Structure 1
Amino acid sequence: MKLINNARYLRRRFWNVFNLSMSIVATLFGLFWLIWILWTTVRNGAAAINIHLFTGDTPAPGSMGGLRNAFVGSLLMIGVAVLVGTPVGILAGTWLAEFAQGKRLGSIIRFFNDILLSAPSIVIGLFIYAIMVVPMGHFSGLAGAFSLAILLLPVVLRTTDEMLTMVPGTMREAALALGAPHWKMIVQISYRAARSGILTGILLAIARISGETAPLLFTALNNQFFSMNLNEPIANIPVVIFQFAMSPYHEWQDLAWVGALMATFAVLVLSLGSRFLIKDRSPR
């Protein structure tokens, strides 16, 4: 009997060590590629950072320039996308959490939102191309902003729904028992309790859309010159990186690397900001 127990112990210990070792190896394997990608981006991008990067526009082949027009174009489209998608996502998430609990319609909307959340971005770009670019007869920054807004919306909706659902029902019942209207209870109680989580979802959604290239190729395209007219093709960082990285010109390739570095830094800042909000929201 003792030998049987020892054999079982040794077998369990072996599989425990084996599984733990494989988990560590898999983690190190993933971290190796991540660190390699980040190091390559920093090494190639940092060398091209200079004052002309923020004061000059994308250059002609074989000449020096910067990414001012691409930075401004990306900020404009992301700003419009946030202004369009955030209110819709928050209101829709509020309806799901506060009015559609246990209802079949709410379950259906959540299901389709999950589908939209995982939909390839190129499909969203083709959709906006069909309903906006083709009828308008030209590419535009506005079409690019709406494609980004559709990508942002399901993230904000899902986060708002989950954060409001986590608010204890006793807090709602206390407010309603004191005679507060339902809308005021949502604004004063639910939103205040879930605001950090909702803001975190918005930051994560911005981080997601800031690097999207495929939908912008079908909507905003690109513009070599500085422009703030959203009714015309407009420069943006993702498409500039895509086009310049494949070019045979050394100056363009350097701009592609530094553009990738700036995009990575922006996503890192947004991710750290969301982590800080989550940590600040955690109970002490």
Structure 2
Amino acid sequence: MSNATITKNEAGASSLRQARLPRWTLPALVVVSAAAGAGIGTAAGLGNTLQWGLIAAVLFILGSYGLAAAVEGGRQAKDRLATSLVWVCFVLAVVPLVSLIWETVERGKTVLDGYFLNHSMEGVQTILPGGGAYHAIIGTLEQVGIATLIAAPIGLLTAIYLVEYGRGRLAKAVTFFVDVMTGIPSIVAGLFILSFWIIILGFSYSGFAGAMALAILMMPVVVRSTEEMLKLVPNELREASLALGVPKWRTILKVVLPTAVGGITTGVMLAVARIAGESAPIVLLVFGAAGINNNPFDGAQSSLPYYIYEQWQLGNEASFNRAWAAALVLIAFVMILNLVARGIARWKAPKTGR
């Protein structure tokens, strides 16, 4: 091969190589944008760091697009623009969450200890330090547990019907009412149970009444999440089972549900997290109790959301600390539920190894 041919090939290969920004460019641009945002915010008299962050985000997006357009070309610049927008939106979504958790931990840890977790507000003056949320924790566990026992089987069976059997007008009607129930306010569910269970049937206010209202809020979430998980199961698995002569109910029980159990469990946990923080039905149906009531079927009973609301309304430093501590307990409760859901999903997921 002649030297002219080699030179030509090298020139063609070099023309195919597109100029790229160094790897350190974007981290450096983040630092420069943050510094510029702080400088512009200070010069403009903006004392809120959130405003500085928004200015820095805009500068980062514009800077990444401009640098990519100048060095890498228009197509790569558009890709950089989309990537920058995704990262900025991610940060904007995470910052409030991290800020909320940080603030809750900082304020809640002042009174969160063993005494707080093992004592109620029975006989405690609300303007003084002391007392705890043991009665509210018991109420939350019982009410959410009963609501889950009611809503999870009904929601699971409804989703199985819609995916595996549902045809015609009845399936459309069920789907419509599930969609309607997804958007109803919690106060409406509480009013329904109040009018039906207490006013018409004459039962008393209790934790069970609140649990029924929570079950109404939980049911459509379970139905929707389970329905989507069942739709993701490949039809080939169903057809292979049916081809072997396995009845349809057994195919659903032994093939479909085990395949989707991870997503179903996650959906149920999301539904539990949806109802764990509800206070409106509890205010209407359960009231609040300063003492411990272990019987959810008789008498007033507290819960963590109602306890937080109640303590914050008192308006003094001691009650504020108790409210923050209870909020921290509630967040920990939801996080533990999610960790348990992930563990169950990993344990029950189909094995892919040979």
**Does the pair score TM above 0.5?**
yes
Q: What residue in structure 2 maps to residue 261 of structure 1?
A: 328
Check if 1:103 corresponds to 2:168: yes
Indicate conservation of the 8 Å contact 1:140/1:220, yes or no: yes
Distance across 1 between alignment mates of 2:190 and 2:149: 19
- Superposed, 1:20-99 pairs within 5 Å as 20-58=83-121, 59-63=124-128, 64-99=130-165
Aligned to 2:209: 143
Question: Post-superposition shift, 1:40?
Answer: 0.8
| 1:148-187 matches, cutoff 5 A | 148-187=214-253
**Aligned partners of 2:93 and 2:226: how far apart in 1?**
31
Distance 1:192 1:24, change over 3 A: closer
Greater mean deviation of Cα atoms: 272-281 or 242-251: 272-281
* CA displacement 1:46-104 (0-9 Å, x = unmatched): 1211221122112332342111111101111111111111111111111111101x534
Residue 122 in structure 1 maps to residue 187 in structure 2: yes
Identity of aligned residues (%): 32
User: CA separation in 2, counterparts of 1:198 and 1:19?
Assistant: 33
Contact 2:262 2:346 (8 Å CA) reproduced: no
Residues of 1 paired with 2:151 and 2:203: CA distance? Answer: 24
TM-score w.r.t. length of structure 1:
0.87
Structure 1 window deviating more from structure 2 (43-52 vs 59-68): it is: 59-68
Q: Bigger shift: 218-227 or 247-256?
A: 247-256
TM-score normalised over the length of structure 2: 0.71
In 2: Cα distance, 1:124 partner to 1:244 partner? 24
> Which of the pair has the greater relative contact order for Cα pairs under 8 Å at 6+ separation?
1
1:159 positional shift: 2.1
Bigger drift between 91-100 and 175-184 goes to 175-184
Q: What do residues 168-219 of structure 1 show as CA deviations (whole Å, max 9, x unaligned)?
A: 2222222222222222222122222222221121111111111111221111
- State yes or no: 1:199 paired with 2:265: yes
Say whether 1:221 aligns with 2:284: no
Aligned counterpart in structure 1 of residue 275 of structure 2, from 189, 204, 209: 209
Q: CA deviation at 1:161?
A: 1.7
**Map of 1:227-238 to 2, 5 A cutoff?**
227-230=293-296, 231-238=298-305
Deviation at residue 138 of structure 1 after TM alignment: 4.4
Q: Which residue of structure 1 aligns with residue 337 of structure 2?
A: 270
Aligned to 2:196: 131
1:181 partner amino acid: P
Distance 1:57 1:181, change over 3 A: same
CA distance in 1, matches of 2:85, 2:158: 43
CA contact (8 A) 1:204 1:274 kept: no
Q: Which residue of 2 aligns with 1:247?
A: 314
- 2:178 counterpart letter in structure 1: N
Instruction: Tell me by how many angstroms 1:133 deviates.
Output: 3.1
Closer, same or farther: CA 159–23 of 1 in aligned 2, 3 Å: closer
Q: CA RMSD in A?
A: 2.5
Q: How far apart in 2 are the matches of 1:48 and 1:143?
A: 31
Structure 2 counterpart of 1:224, one-letter code: A
Question: Residues 15, 185 of structure 1: CA spacing in aligned structure 2 closer, same or farther, 3 A cutoff?
Answer: closer
- Cα distance change on mapping 1:138 and 1:24 into 2, 3 Å: same
Structure with higher Rg: it is 2
Closer, same or farther: CA 279–111 of 1 in aligned 2, 3 Å: farther
Secondary structure of the equivalent of 1:246? helix
| CA contact 2:308–2:323 (8 Å) conserved in 1 | yes
Count matched residues: 277
Cα displacement (A) at 1:111: 2.6
